[in-house]
Amino acid sequence: MLIACPYCGPRDVAEFTYQGDANRPRPDPASTDLDAWNDYVYQRANPAGPHREYWQHSGGCRSHLLVTRNTLTHEIAGVAFVRSAPVPATKPAPAAPRKRPASRKAKP
Amino acid sequence: MAEYSVFSLLRNGFNANRDWAPAWRKPEPKAAYDVVIVGGGGHGLATAYYLAREHGITNVAVVEKGWLGSGNIGRNTTIVRSNYLLPASIRFYEHSLKLWENLSHELNYNVMFSQRGVINLAHSPAQSDDFMRRGNALRHEGVDAEWWDRDRIARAVPGLDVSASARFPIVGGLMQRRGGTARHDAVAWGYARAADRRGVDIIENCEVTGFLRDGDRVTGVRTSRGDIAAKKVAVAVAGSTGRVMQAAGIDRMPIESHVLQAFVTESLKPTLDTVITFGGGHLYVSQSDKGSLVFGGDIDGYNSYAQRGNLPVVEDVMSEMVALFPGFARLRLLRSWGGIMDMSMDGSPIVTKGPLPGMYLNCGWCYGGFKATPASGWLFAWTIARDEPHPINAPFTLDRFARGLVIDEKGQGATPRLH
């Protein structure tokens, strides 16, 4: 399997580190919605077919990449820098964020 | 009456093997069954057998997309052991090992279960401590485990590089003498025949394309050979769990499908009479009765349904093999293949009722499905027949992730590629 790194060009898969499913909507860090966190941490769509996933070119330019790869054939349809690709929508926190305690405010 | 005996072998030997009956029928699917099991692999067939034998439920169909045993039951490296760390896992796999010990007799089918011992090699003081702790946990649960030092391993396993100059010098190892190997195809065929003799219909080339529903309740399966109604539908499809559950309307599961490769070499004379695992990386090797070395290592590490892997893992596995047994470097590889692992989020299986009413689920076997085959079938059959889990599989639920009750042997977290 070759992954065409947008910076380095096509390189062997051995140079890359897999970082998993790129379709998981991450809850807002302030969220206390347990279902949303469970969904983010543990649940996967695990499709047989096109799969959007993160790889890092750890043995090369170290860029984080968003790869679209077919899990049935290992064919790669597209590679992009993660920074230029849309990330899955963040789920907003359901409750209003708590007020920070006054003591944490930075003093002028 | 034993169907395979020395007398039947002799009789068929003298008349050109004309008297053998097919080991199982090829029935047409009926319109309805008490239980339909999706997946004709080891676990599905074992479930059907124990449903009939332990619970008297014989109006059962096993539907299989391809031919019987075409999936992971015929693709594994045939290792059987129960040397886990956590009590829930130890009890599960020890139950399995006990069933293995009587399996050939029970099925009247030689599954060639050979308790040749499994040695997990340790390569550092820290790893020794870790393995000794696991040994103590096993003995605490009444399971056999022995600590072997380097010299004892060197005497028992000729050819192993035990020198201090090895890249990962061998310090010792944890031996489970009751572990070993079995003939994987025979397990599928033995369970299939035994289930068939008790009235179970095994329907091959019958792909499940959807589920019959009555509201939330699952009332049967839609297949490439017509609809089949069922009071209970049991799913045991390993790497295809995601696809089958999506057909049931469950879009997300705590499972990722990954490809695992396995390898056999050309045959050689008896040279290795135990199962050896490498602690410096990930390798497990044994010698088959035909003489080939059967071995494997890590999964490729990315989602895949392709049943074939890539070369970096091949290189990795070979280098580990040669690091352990320098003399094997000159062997030629005969075959390699891939199977699709249902990697769960904590590395432990799921054997449970649900997630929909009328449905039962058996999945998440990661690398360890073969050794679990008898217990998986036995416990799944119990769960289906009684509508509640046996105490041994009660911890292996689907909701344990949400409830924080994960059974994570490696302490690796929700990273399936690392389990």
Instruction: Report d(CA B353, CA B4) in Å as an integer.
Output: 37
Question: Do A13 and B310 count as a contact with CB atoms less than 8 A apart?
Answer: yes
Name the residue among B374, B375, B368, B329 with its Cα closest to residue B77. Answer: B368
pLDDT, tens digit (0-9, with 9 covering 90-100), for B104-156? 999 999 999 999 999 999 999 999 999 999 999 999 999 999 999 999 999 99
A102: phi then psi, degrees, rounded to nearest 5? -60, -30
Q: A19: domain CATH number?
A: 3.30.2270.10
Give the pLDDT means over successive 10-residue stretches in chain B (419 positions).
78 88 92 96 97 96 94 95 96 97 94 96 96 97 96 95 93 97 96 96 96 94 95 95 93 95 96 95 94 95 93 95 94 95 96 94 94 97 96 96 93 90
Number of folded domains that form chain A: 1
Say how far apart CA A10 and CA A67 lie, in whole Å.
13
Phi, psi (rounded to 5 degrees) for B110: -75, 105
Q: Is the pLDDT of residue A100 over 70?
A: no
Distance CA(B174)–CA(B166), nearest Å, equals 19
Chain A residues lying within 8 Å of B304, measured CB to CB: 71, 74
Number of CB atoms found within 10 A of residue B209's CB = 13
- Is the Cβ pair A44, B252 closer than 8 Å? yes
Asked, for residue A41, whether it belongs to a domain, the answer is yes
Q: What is the dihedral of CA A76, A81, A82, A88, to 10 degrees?
A: -60
Residue-wise pLDDT for B173-184, tens only, equals 999 999 999 999
When the pLDDT of each residue in chain B is averaged and rounded to a whole number, the result is: 94
Of B256, B301, B305, the CB nearest to A72: B305
Structure tokens at B306: 């392709």
Q: What DSSP line would sit under B269-330, residue for residue?
A: SS---SEEEETTTTEEEEE-TTSEEEEEEEEEEEE--SS---HHHHHHHHHHHHHH-GGGGG
ipTM of the complex: 0.88
Residue labelled with tokens 């449903």: B51
Confidence band, pLDDT 50/70/90 cuts, at residue A84: confident
C-alpha of B192 from chain center = 16
Inter-chain touch B303–A21, beta carbons under 8 Å: yes
Greatest C-alpha distance within chain B: 66
CATH of the domain spanning B112-180+256-343: 3.30.9.10
pTM score, whole prediction: 0.92
Domain coverage including residue A82: 2-26+34-89
Q: Return d(Cα B172, Cα B147) in angstroms, integer.
A: 7
Contact B401 A42 (CB under 8 A): yes
CB–CB of A45 and B252 under 8 A?
yes
CATH code, B30-78+184-255+346-418 = 3.50.50.60
| A71 interface with B at CB cutoff 8 Å | yes
Q: How far apart are CA A17 and CA B302, in angstroms?
A: 9
Identify the bridge partners of residue B227 per DSSP, sorted by sequence position: B222
Strand partners, B63: B38, B203
Do B230 and B36 form a contact (C-beta atoms < 8 A)? yes
A96 inside domain: no
**Domain segments of chain B: what residues?**
30-78+184-255+346-418, 112-180+256-343
